[in-house]
Structure 1
Amino acid sequence: MLTDTKEKLYQCDVCEKNYAHGRYLKTHMLIHTKEKPHRCVACEKSFSVISNLKSHMLTHTKEKRYLCDVCEKRFARGRDLNTHVNILTEMTSTDLGVDQTDICDQRFLEGGNVKRHMLKHSIEKLQRCDVCEKTFTQSSTLKRHMLTHTKEKPHQCNVCGKTFIRLGILKQHMVTHTNEKPHRCDVCEKRFARKDVLKKHMLVHIDEKPFRCDLCDTGFTQSGNLKRHLLTHTNEKPYRCVVCEKRFRINSNLKTHMLTHTKERRYQCDTCGKKFTQHGNLKTHMLIHTKKKPHRCDVCYKTFTHSGNLKRHMLTHQKM
C-alpha cells in the first residue's frame, strides 16, 4: 500500500517496512511469500531476486571477476572475495605472527586500508613459488602449481597415452574415448560429455551476455569467446602450422588442420567403417545411413542431405 506521506513511501502490510519505490516493495514481499521466481537453468536452484541468480550463474561458468589485490586469487562473487580477505587477515595476523609496526612508512587515511596494506607485507610469509613468485597458503597447492613450470604431467591416459597435470583433467579426457554424453540440456535436449560444458551451454538460454566487445558491442556469455572475437577486428592469427605455416585465429582450428598433414582419421562410422579427420564430417556422412535430409527448400519444400546441395538447388528457382 502507498502511505500518506510527503515522501510517498511504499509500506509493507506485513512488517510495515517502508520503501521509496513500488518495485522495491514488490521485491521485498518475496521474503514473506517465500516465492523464488528466478530459477537457474543449470542446477534448478531458485532465487527471489534476479541479481542473485546472475551472481549464482557465475559459479557455473567458472568466470571469476573479483581479484584479491593481496594474493591475486580470483573469485566468482564479491562476497566470496570479502570472506577470503577476512580469513587472510585473521591468518596473517595470528598464524604468521605479523608485527603491525611501521615497515614501509606508507600512510593511509583510514585504518581499514592500513590493515589491507599490511597483508601485502605478511603475504611474504606464505608459500611462494620460486619461478613466478605466486604465493599459496598451503605447500600442497604450491606443489601442484610447480607442475605448470616443470611441464611434468604425471597422469597418463591408458587409451591414447596423452598425459595431464591433474587427475581431474584426465578423468574429463577419458570421456572423449567412450563418446558418452550423459549430461543433457533440459531446454534444447543437447547432450554433453562433461557437466561443466553443459553449465556453460545453459547461459545461451538465459540470454545473459556480460562480456561485451568495445568495438562492435557484441555480447558473449564467456570471456574466452570475447577474446577470440576480438581477433576478428585485429585480423590477428596467432596460431601457426609448423608444416605449411598457415595461420589460424583459434587453436582448435589449428589442431583440426594438423590432421590434414598427419592423415590421422580419428572418427569412424559404426555402420560402414569409413574414417574421417573431423567429427563434423562424420556427422554429415551418417545422414547417408539414416536417410535424414535436414536441409529444406523454403520455396518447393524439397529436402537435401547436405547444405551445399540445397544452395545449388536454390539457383534453379532464381532462373525461373
Structure 2
Amino acid sequence: MEEKRNCYKFSCKVCGSEFSGRSSLKNHMRVHTGEKPYCCKVCGKSFSQSNVLKSHLSVHTGEKPYTCEYCGTAFSQSASLKTHVRIHTGEKPYCCKLCGTAFTHSSSLTQHTRVHMQEKPYSCDYCGTAFSQNDHLSRHMRTHTGEKPYSCEVCSATFFDSSSFKRHTLIHTGEKPYTCTVCGNVFSLHNNLKSHMRIHTGEKPYACKVCGHAFPRSSALKSHMLIHTGEKPYACKVCGKSFSQRTSLKLHTRTHTGEKPYSCKICSTGFSQNSNLKSHMRKIHTNKQVCSATFLESSTVKQHMLIQTGQTPYSCKVCGSSFLDNSSFKRHMLIHTGEKPYVCRVCRNVFSLHNNLKSHMRIHTGEKPYDCKVCGNAFPRSSALKSHMRIHTGEKPYDCKYCDKSFSQRTSLKFHMRTHTGEKPYSCEICGTGFSQNSNLKSHMQTVHKTKQQS
C-alpha cells in the first residue's frame, strides 16, 4: 500500500489531486485554467485533451467503429458504447451517498445530488428563476422567447422540448408498447402506464400539504394547489379572462373561435365540449330518432328542432354561455347587469326574473303545483319536478370532466367534483376543520363538539 502511494509524486496545488506523471498533472491543470490547446480544423471547436479531439473528429468523418454486441448499434466513441451497454446489462455504477439511488450516467448522479443540496446553479436572465439542470433552463427560456425548435413532419405541430415532441409522434404512429397486466389497456408512454396502475392499486403518492388531499398523479396535485394559492396562470389572449386550469382556458377559447371539435356521428351536430356531445347523444339519439311532435306555429317547430339538434344561436359575449331563444338570452344578461326589479312583498327579497319571484312566493303560500305522475310527490317548481323525475328514468345528464362518472343532479356533480379538487368550503368555527359538504360539517358539530341541531 505504501509502495502504491509513493508512485503518486506530482500533486495539484489547486485541488490536491495526485498524479504519477508530470504529463498527467499538466493535462489535469487544464481543468482549472480552462486551456484548450487542441483545435478541430473542421469546425474550430477546441478541447483540453488530444484523445478527446481524436474522438470528436469521428463526428465529421461519420466513422462509428464501436458496435454494441447486444443490438448492433454503432458508436463513434468507445465511451458512448460503454454507456449504451448499460441499457442491456442494467448496470448502474454511480450511486448517491445520501439516498442510495443508482444511475447509469455520472451526469445523472450530479444532477440528482443537486436535489439533496437544493443547488440550482442555472438562472434565467429574464425572470431570475433558478434550475438544477442546464437543459431545464434551456427549456424554460423558450417560454420567454416563444421558440419551438421541434417540428412534426406529419402535421407541422411545434414543441418547446424533445420529450413533448416524442410523445406527440406516437399519435401518428399509433405505437402503444406498454400493456397493463391487470386489464390489458395499452399505453404509448411508460409513465402513462405507471399512472394507470394506480387505478388498480389505489395508490395516491402525491399529497397536498395544505389540506391533506392525495392524488395519483403529480399533475393533479399541481392543478389542485391552485385552489389554495388562488393563482390563475392561464389567461385568454382575446378577452384577458384568467383560469386556474389549462383545460378551462381551452374550453373558454372555443367561445371566441367557435370551434366545435366534437361531432355527432348520427346528425353531424358539432359541440365545443365532449360532455355536451355525450348529453346530446343521450337525449336525442338514445333508443330514439328525432321525435314526431307536431306544432301549430312554424316558429315553435324551429325552436323545438334547435332542442333536438343541440344548437344554441344566442351567445353571451361576456361569459360565452349560449341559449336557444332570445328571451332566455335576455334573462341571462341580468346576471351580468345585476338588475333585480322584482321584490317579494312578504320578506322583501329581490329577484332578476318575474318567474323567480313567482316560484319564491310558494315558500310563503306552501303551494306545490307540479305533481309527479309516477309516485305522486309534489314540488313548488317545475325544475324540481324535472330533477326528481330522473330518479324514475335513471337519466344522468351531468358528466364529470375528470372521470367517467355521471350524475342525475347538478348538485351531486358539484359535490363529486370536490373529490378531485379537494375543495372544502364548509369550515368548523370551533376547530377549523374543513368539509366538502355542509351535512358533514353539521354531523361533525354534533359528534365532536356536542352541539344540538337547530330545529
After TM superposition, the score normalised by the length of structure 1 is 0.54
Matched, 1:294 2:316: no
1:312/1:200 CA distance change after superposition, 3 Å = closer
Matched, 1:270 2:237: yes
Q: CA RMSD in A?
A: 3.8
Asked whether the 8 Å contact 2:93–2:103 carries over to 1, the reply is: no
Q: How many Å separate the matches in 1 of 2:198 and 2:141?
A: 32
* Corresponding residue for residue 25 of structure 1: none
Q: How many Å separate the matches in 2 of 1:316 and 1:53?
A: 58
After TM superposition, the score normalised by the length of structure 2 is 0.39
Q: How many Å separate the matches in 1 of 2:227 and 2:105?
A: 45
* Corresponding residue for residue 253 of structure 1: 220
Of residues 263, 274, 290 in structure 2, which corresponds to 1:307?
274
* Corresponding residue for residue 230 of structure 1: 197
1:217-266: CA deviations, max 9, x gaps?
33333322221121111011111112222221100111011112111111
Secondary structure of 2:113's aligned partner: helix
Percent identical: 41
Of residues 161, 168, 171 in structure 2, which corresponds to 1:201?
168
* Corresponding residue for residue 353 of structure 2: none
Matched, 1:66 2:88: yes
* Corresponding residue for residue 65 of structure 2: none
1:56-77: CA deviations, max 9, x gaps?
xxxxxx9x843454x447xxxx
1:177/1:221 CA distance change after superposition, 3 Å = same
Q: How many Å separate the matches in 2 of 1:53 and 1:176?
A: 39
Q: How many Å separate the matches in 1 of 2:161 and 2:175?
A: 21
Gaps in structure 1 of 5+ consecutive residues = 1-50, 56-61, 74-127
Asked whether the 8 Å contact 2:178–2:190 carries over to 1, the reply is: yes
* Corresponding residue for residue 114 of structure 1: none
Asked whether the 8 Å contact 2:93–2:104 carries over to 1, the reply is: no
Q: Highest Rg: 1 or 2?
A: 2
* Corresponding residue for residue 10 of structure 1: none
Secondary structure of 1:66's aligned partner: helix
Q: How many Å separate the matches in 2 of 1:240 and 1:149?
A: 20
Secondary structure of 1:270's aligned partner: coil
| Bigger relative contact order (CA 8 A; separation at least 6) | 1
Of residues 196, 209, 216 in structure 2, which corresponds to 1:242?
209
1:72/1:209 CA distance change after superposition, 3 Å = farther
**One-letter code aligned to 1:213:** C
* Corresponding residue for residue 210 of structure 1: 177
1:290/1:243 CA distance change after superposition, 3 Å = same
1:198/1:53 CA distance change after superposition, 3 Å = farther
* Corresponding residue for residue 220 of structure 1: 187
1:217/1:53 CA distance change after superposition, 3 Å = farther
Q: How many Å separate the matches in 1 of 2:216 and 2:108?
A: 33
Secondary structure of 1:285's aligned partner: helix
1:28-68: CA deviations, max 9, x gaps?
xxxxxxxxxxxxxxxxxxxxxxx98999xxxxxx9x84345
* Corresponding residue for residue 125 of structure 1: none
Q: How many residues align?
A: 209
Q: How many Å separate the matches in 2 of 1:134 and 1:241?
A: 25
Q: How many Å separate the matches in 1 of 2:266 and 2:104?
A: 66
1:54/1:218 CA distance change after superposition, 3 Å = farther
**One-letter code aligned to 1:235:** G
